[in-house]
Chain A
Amino acid sequence: MSGLLSKELLANIGKQAPPRTEVVTRRDIRKYAIATGQRDPRFLAGDLAPPLYHVALFWDVVPLEELTPDGVSIDKLLPKFPLERAMAGGLNIEYHRDIFPGDVLIANRTLTDIYEKQGRQGPLIFYEIIMEVSTETGEKVLTEKTTRILR
Chain B
Amino acid sequence: MTRIDQIQPGDQLPALTDKPDNVQLFLYNAALWNAHRIHFDLPYAKDVEGYPGLVIAGPLMGDWLTQCVLQWLGQDGRLAGIEYSNRQAAYIGETLTTSGKVLEVDAAAGTATVEVAVTNEAGDVITPGTATVRFHDTGLGHDSDRGAS
Contact = CB atoms under 8 A, between A and B. Distances in A.
Interface of A: 28, 31-32, 34-40, 50-52, 55-56, 59-61, 67, 70-73, 88-96, 98, 140, 147
Contacts of B48: 70
Contact of A35 (B16, B28, B67): B28
Contact of B59 (A31, A38, A91, A92): A91
Given A55-B59, A59-B34, A140-B149, 11 more contacts: A28-B31, A37-B24, A37-B64, A38-B67, A51-B66, A70-B49, A88-B85, A94-B81, A95-B79, A96-B148, A147-B85
B80 interface: yes
Contact of B33 (A36, A59, A89, A96): A59
A94 B148 CA distance: 8
Interface residues of B, number: 43
B80 A52 contact: no
A95 B148 contact: yes
A55 B32 contact: yes
Contact of B63 (A28, A52, A94, A140): A52
A28 B30 CA distance: 11
B35 A72 contact: yes
A24 B80 CA distance: 21
Contact of A67 (B35, B41, B81): B35
Given A70-B48, A91-B62, A91-B84, A37 B32 contact: no
A95 B36 contact: no
Contact of A88 (B32, B63, B86): B86
A23 B60 CA distance: 22
